[in-house]
């Protein structure tokens, strides 16, 4: 390892620069956390008016595969990360030839491809103890003809670029698959068997370049229309045995991936109590936002520590927490197309309410605009304040 890749500590004068690919809200929250630790942050993002760009010390406005821009980012920054999984893996590989990149291109490329991700999880199973749902690659009509009946009912998902419920269709027969496959333009897909789900959990874990790993408390998630609605920690349905198994599986997976940085892995808990691994995100995650207000070290501060090859932070949760996603819908009353500002004063009057808005000027229905985390002495009180907030914002509960 060359001298320029050796460990360093943050310095306020002059500050060490960290870089992030992507200008969304995850990048914005990373910028804030890194700056609190004394770092300066450069963001590379095609859109000049972006949430992370508003907060960053330097914005490089360019496409993610612009080699001149990538070279500028690498020259300025001692380490670079990504805030979303669909940044080109080739760009991360280009950066890695010039600076330290965490997570690396190979890790991100696995998470970009649902089929590769499932193959990887299957290969990890002897050690992790968990498998993905039964699945089949759908690359053409021959694959559809060969689908076993046991995979129905199922969900057909595009192999690449799907998120927040996009690129997914529920299917009950081969004819359904043919229609859905054609509707998706014949792109590579994977068919997953639908399983009797009891609830979903996500496990946030982090690993340093030295191999040290930490794992956060288990988060129980509720989705609406494919988008995360709430995250509750501790999960009201999660028993100690399930939590321990999911955390152990996550630590095994992140080690086998050779990953450096923050990784979120989603699991399904079935009605019989068994655990199934669903997918992973090679970055901080929506379900990990509770760590900002409820844990000693937030997921974003942890990301900065891993990038800087500093000791990983304490993951203890000091208070029960419930996180509510805020979508653009709450800016609109009924069927109105005219936005109005939600009653944030009433939200902030609730005990334990922590409001995080993402700096987006254009509220749209279904668009993530912010989140509220309720941090209270008891989980019951946090859930009570969640219900009150939903009432104020007009969110059905």
Got the DSSP string for 291-334? Answer: HHHHBSS-HHHHHHHHHTTPPPPP--B-S-EEEEEEEGGGGS-T
What is the model's pLDDT at position 9?
57
* Binding site feature residues for ATP: 114, 157, 162-168, 192-195, 200, 223, 278-279
Residue 123: inside a domain, yes or no? no
The answer to whether residues 96 and 150 belong to one domain is no
Residue 129: inside a domain, yes or no? no
Q: Identify the CATH number of the domain in which residue 148 sits.
A: 3.30.1490.20
Q: How far is the C-alpha of 148 from the C-alpha of 156, rounded, in Å? A: 14
The answer to whether residues 275 and 377 belong to one domain is yes
CA angle 68, 3, 39 (to 5 degrees): 65
Q: Counting Cβ atoms within 10 Å, is residue 129 exposed (0-12), middle (13-18) or buried (19+)?
A: middle
The answer to whether residues 292 and 361 belong to one domain is yes
Give the chain's domain count: 3
* Binding site feature residues: 114, 157, 162-168, 192-195, 200, 223, 278-279
CB 371 within 8 A of CB 316: no
The answer to whether residues 230 and 165 belong to one domain is no
The answer to whether residues 215 and 75 belong to one domain is no
Residue 335: inside a domain, yes or no? yes
The answer to whether residues 207 and 328 belong to one domain is yes
> Which domain does 140 fall in, by range?
134-193
Residue 117: inside a domain, yes or no? no
Got the DSSP string for 228-284? Answer: EEEEEES-TT--HHHHHHHHHHHHHHHHHHT--EEEEEEEEEETTS-EEEEEEESS-
CB 41 within 8 A of CB 15: no
Q: How far is the C-alpha of 397 from the C-alpha of 386, rounded, in Å? A: 9
Residue 118: inside a domain, yes or no? no
The answer to whether residues 220 and 307 belong to one domain is yes
Residue 122: inside a domain, yes or no? no
The answer to whether residues 378 and 319 belong to one domain is yes
Q: Is the dihedral of CA 229, 235, 236, 238 positive or negative?
A: positive
Q: Which of 51, 74, 109 is the last residue of a domain?
A: 109
Task: Say what the pTM is.
Answer: 0.93
Q: How far is the C-alpha of 313 from the C-alpha of 325, rounded, in Å? A: 25
Q: Identify the CATH number of the domain in which residue 346 sits.
A: 3.30.470.20
Tens place of pLDDT per residue across the chain (397 aa): 334 444 555 555 556 999 999 999 999 999 999 999 999 999 999 999 999 999 999 999 999 999 999 999 999 999 999 998 889 999 999 999 999 999 999 999 999 999 999 999 999 999 999 999 999 999 999 999 999 999 999 999 999 876 655 678 999 999 999 999 999 999 999 999 999 999 999 999 999 999 999 999 999 999 998 899 999 999 999 999 999 999 999 999 999 999 999 999 999 999 999 999 999 999 999 999 999 999 999 999 999 999 999 999 999 999 999 999 999 999 998 888 899 999 999 999 999 999 999 999 899 999 999 999 999 999 999 999 999 999 999 999 8
3-state secondary structure 102-120: CCCHHHHHHHHCHHHHHHH
What is the model's pLDDT at position 269?
98
The answer to whether residues 383 and 303 belong to one domain is yes
Q: How far is the C-alpha of 46 from the C-alpha of 187, rounded, in Å? A: 26
The answer to whether residues 256 and 343 belong to one domain is yes
Q: How far is the C-alpha of 33 from the C-alpha of 303, rounded, in Å? A: 9
The answer to whether residues 48 and 184 belong to one domain is no
CB 161 within 8 A of CB 146: no
Residue 387: inside a domain, yes or no? yes
The answer to whether residues 187 and 225 belong to one domain is no
**Is the preceding omega at residue 234 within 30 degrees of 0, hence cis?**
yes
Q: Identify the CATH number of the domain in which residue 30 sits.
A: 3.40.50.20
Residue 187: inside a domain, yes or no? yes
Q: How far is the C-alpha of 316 from the C-alpha of 358, rounded, in Å? A: 26
Q: Which of 145, 160, 193 is the last residue of a domain?
A: 193
Q: Which of 193, 208, 238 is the last residue of a domain?
A: 193
What is the model's pLDDT at position 103?
96
Q: Please provide residue 199's backbone torsions phi and psi, each rounded to the nearest 5 degrees.
A: -170, 170
Around 22, how many Cα atoms within 13 Å sit in the side-chain half-sphere? Answer: 19
What is the model's pLDDT at position 325?
98
């Amino acid at each position: 390892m060359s001298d320029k890749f050796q460990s360093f500590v943050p310095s306020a004068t002059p500050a060490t620069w960290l870089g992030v690919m992507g200008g969304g809200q995850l990048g914005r929250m990373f910028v804030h956390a890194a700056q609190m630790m004394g770092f300066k942050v450069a963001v590379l993002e095609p859109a000049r008016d972006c949430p992370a760009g508003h907060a960053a010390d330097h914005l490089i406005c360019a496409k993610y595969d612009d080699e001149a821009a990538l070279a500028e980012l690498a020259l300025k920054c001692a380490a670079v990360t990504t805030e979303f999984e669909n940044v080109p893996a080739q760009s991360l590989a280009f950066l890695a030839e010039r600076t330290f990149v965490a997570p690396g291109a190979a890790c991100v490329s696995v998470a970009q491809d649902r089929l590769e991700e499932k193959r990887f999880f299957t290969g990890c199973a002897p050690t992790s103890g968990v498998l993905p749902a039964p699945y089949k690659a759908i690359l053409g009509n021959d694959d559809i003809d060969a689908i076993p009946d046991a995979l129905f009912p199922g969900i057909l998902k595009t192999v690449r670029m799907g998120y927040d419920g996009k690129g997914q269709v529920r299917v009950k027969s081969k004819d359904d698959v043919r229609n859905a496959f054609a509707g998706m333009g014949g792109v590579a897909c994977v068919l997953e068997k639908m399983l009797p789900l009891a609830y979903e959990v996500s496990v946030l874990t982090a690993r340093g370049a030295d191999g040290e790993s930490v794992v956060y408390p288990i988060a129980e998630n509720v989705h609406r229309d494919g988008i995360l609605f709430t995250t509750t920690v501790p999960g009201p349905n999660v028993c100690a045995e399930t939590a321990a198994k999911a955390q152990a599986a996550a630590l095994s997976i992140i080690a086998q991936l050779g990953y450096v940085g923050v990784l979120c892995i989603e699991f399904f808990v079935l009605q019989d109590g068994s655990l199934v691994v669903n997918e992973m995100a090679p970055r901080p995650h929506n379900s990990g936002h509770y760590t900002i207000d409820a844990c000693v070290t937030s997921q974003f501060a942890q990301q900065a520590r891993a990038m800087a090859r500093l000791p990983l932070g304490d993951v203890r949760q000091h208070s029960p927490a419930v996180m509510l996603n805020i979508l653009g819908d709450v800016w609109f009353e009924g069927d109105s197309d005219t936005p109005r500002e939600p009653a944030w004063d009433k939200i902030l009057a609730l005990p334990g309410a922590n409001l995080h808005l993402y700096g987006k000027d254009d509220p749209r229905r279904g668009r993530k605009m912010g989140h509220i985390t309720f941090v209270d002495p008891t989980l019951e009180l946090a859930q009570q304040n969640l219900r009150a907030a939903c009432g104020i914002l007009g969110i059905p509960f």
